[in-house]
Structure 1
Amino acid sequence: MNTTPRLPARLGKGDRIGIVTLSAPEPAADPAAFERGVAALMARGFEPVLGAHALGRSGYRAGSTTDLLDDFHAMIADDTIAAVVCAGGGKNANRLLSGLDYPLIAAHPKAIVGVSDPSLLLNAITARTGLVTVHGPSVMWDWAQDGPAETFEHFTAVLSGRPDAARIDAPLTWTRAGVAEGHLVAGCLSSLRCLLGTPWEPLWDGALLVIEDAFKPTDLLDQALTHFQDCGVLDRIAGLIVGESVGCEPTAGITVAQMVDEVCRDYGWPLAHGLPYGHTPLKVTLPIGATARLDADAERPLTLTSPWTATRQESR
């Protein structure tokens, strides 16, 4: 596991952004929405470049494992591509873990952006290469949907390295107030679970763990979070932030927040709920691997405290 931070190059207006589909064939299922998302990125001043299989379909995936890895590696190796954005989500991004060319990714540090299922790839890449990756809006779910302006403004601010992006203005509800500082591990809970016990598992020691999920009942998410507990993850982190859940129905009247509080009741670290990120239309963009501070008494309770981007020259 690589623990030395490697910073992606900052994104600027006019830069080329590679768009890849690494799991479900969502663009093929709704090409009109995909086209709207691509157009929205263009309207922001970027030049989208589509992966060969971005609009592909092979059963419940956009292509074979080889196809999807080739698309991704081509975008990474192309130094005219400044960032790579995942088209959407799915359930099988972990099929790519063993085939990722981690030395290639480390040699071409650029922002890699994803959400939901691809969040497991982001955290694996950060764990293996030290590269700060980006949990942020996808083409299909965000750029295509004409969502809240704040979502896209924070994305642009984070990827361009603007200092004001470090102050994340998100009201949180505190179960256990306190202060913690550590590197960010952020993603969809059920997707991150796929990394437990693998060679691509994140560095949990001292981490600020940020989790969310969507369209799953409370009892199923209890199973997933308890798995993290049984693997010792909750003994090693510095703090936990639970994002807003989308479509997660209570089980027997018990909400996701109530379940999390119960599972985590015996720990001493800060625990907060309500961060808008992940599957929510309004979402903050989080640099995975960057250091952040969680402080219940601060005006802005979540603040990035380490650099998360570099100039093109510095990132080499």
Structure 2
Amino acid sequence: MDRPLRFPRPLRPGDRIGVTSPSAGVEGAGAARIDFCVDWLRGRGYDVEVGECMDGSAITSAPAAQRAAELTRMLADPDIACVVPPWGGETAIDLVDLLDWDALAVAEPTWLVGYSDMSTLLLPVTTRLGWATLHGDNLADTPVEVPAGLMHWLDLAGGEGPFTQSGSGLVATWVRFEEDVRATQWRPVSSGAWQVEGDGSLDVSGRLIGGCIETIGHLAGTPYGDVRGWAEALDEPTIVYVEACESDAVDICRHLHGMRLAGWFDRAAAVLVGRTNAPDHRELTQREAVLDALGRLDLPIVWDLEIGHVPPHLPLVNGALARVVVDGDRQEISQTLA
């Protein structure tokens, strides 16, 4: 990163939001869901432009070069204030070296939003360009009502801050598109709370960076995942957040070791771990996987935040200055976009 950290301007009704699929496209009930979500955004006053890379008949929405060109165009277009995908996918990594990084370097920052496979793009846009990016709901989940304690990603992208969120206590799942393409509620499953490893308390501050372990882990050691270099350039503590989607505990353990060896946690003041339904290995749990890789770093670890593939979702801004407090019933994260 050779530019200081920059934040996109606040997103307002009337602004244009670009929709493109840098990874998986849409079809069937999923396409009907995305049509509903586009109408939902338009009903709230946003001008929505849907790109050409949206086909859901294959593993990706279009060839990598076409997806990279459309994403570059939308991010560099001064008339587009925000870009959001329908959802994640599997292989967004195939276009990270095809984006026109030189064109983006001279453009004004644009909000890039999403999670899951979108982490593969959010992270290098922050670490290479210095643009803040927003790890939050993809378009398919954008109309879902946000539970008490959390904020909608549109409110983070549209406000001045600082923004404070607290644990929602809710553990939920999705309503299948085949059941209801217009669903706007999570389906409750149980309750949950943030927990500091060792049952202690925590009050730390740092710049947020992170994402989905299975996708960002492959960027470690490449020019597109130089978290250590980014943190050194900022010369500030970081707070690294991670979440597992579906890989078993051994694979998660390997990824986290690779990230550790690449220096991702060298400047970390704490690690935040998202709630997960990813499977344990017969001889290793998901928690044990994290502790095997990161326990030797003597860093505070906070478990079970709403930042992953178990809804609801607590949106985080890569690059935001965050303060995390966990002390008894107080479970709180504040973000300042400066």
Q: TM tier, shorter chain?
A: 0.7 to 0.9
**Structure 2: tracts of 5 or more residues without a match:** 168-192, 232-236
Q: Aligned partners of 1:150, 1:102: CA distance in 2, in Å?
A: 39
Q: Aligned partners of 2:295, 2:30: CA distance in 1, in Å?
A: 43
Corresponding position: 1:160 with 2:158: yes
Equivalent position of 2:321 in the other structure: 291
Q: Aligned partners of 1:36, 1:61: CA distance in 2, in Å?
A: 21
**Mapping of residues 111-122 of structure 1, within 5 Å:** 111-122=111-122
Equivalent position of 2:123 in the other structure: 123
The counterpart of 1:260, out of the listed 258, 281, 290, is 290
Q: 1:68 to 1:58 in 2, by over 3 A?
A: farther
Equivalent position of 1:143 in the other structure: 142
| Matched residue count | 302
Equivalent position of 1:37 in the other structure: 37
**Mapping of residues 1-316 of structure 1, within 5 Å:** 1-2=1-2, 4-27=4-27, 30-54=30-54, 56-57=55-56, 59-106=58-105, 107-140=107-140, 142-143=141-142, 146=144, 148=146, 153-163=151-161, 166-170=163-167, 171-176=193-198, 177-204=201-228, 205=231, 206-245=237-276, 247-252=277-282, 254-297=284-327, 299-304=330-335, 306-307=336-337
Q: Aligned partners of 1:11, 1:151: CA distance in 2, in Å?
A: 21
**Residue aligned with 1:4, SS:** coil
* Range that drifts further, 43-52 or 131-140: 43-52
* Range that drifts further, 222-231 or 27-36: 27-36
Q: Aligned partners of 1:182, 1:105: CA distance in 2, in Å?
A: 26
Give the ranges of 4+ consecutive aligned residues of structure 1 lying more than 6 Å apart after TM superposition: none
Equivalent position of 1:314 in the other structure: none
Alignment TM-score, normalising by the size of structure 1: 0.86
CA distances 1:109-132 after superposition (whole Å, capped 9, x unpaired): 111112111112111011111111
Q: Aligned partners of 2:75, 2:304: CA distance in 1, in Å?
A: 34
CA distances 1:136-187 after superposition (whole Å, capped 9, x unpaired): 11123x136x4545699421220112425x2121242000543332211121
Give the aligned residue type for 1:182: G
Q: 1:152 to 1:207 in 2, by over 3 A?
A: closer
**Residue aligned with 1:33, SS:** helix
Deviation at 1:201, TM superposition (A): 1.7
Q: Aligned partners of 1:229, 1:143: CA distance in 2, in Å?
A: 33
Q: CA RMSD in A?
A: 2.4
CA distances 1:234-287 after superposition (whole Å, capped 9, x unpaired): 344221000111x31222264312332343322222210111023233111111
Deviation at 1:82, TM superposition (A): 1.4
**Residue aligned with 2:152, SS:** helix
Q: Aligned partners of 1:236, 1:272: CA distance in 2, in Å?
A: 17
* Range that drifts further, 20-29 or 2-11: 20-29
Q: Aligned partners of 2:194, 2:43: CA distance in 1, in Å?
A: 32
* Range that drifts further, 266-275 or 200-209: 200-209
The 8 Å contact of residues 227 and 264 in structure 2, kept in 1 or not, is answered as no
**Structure 1: tracts of 5 or more residues without a match:** 309-316
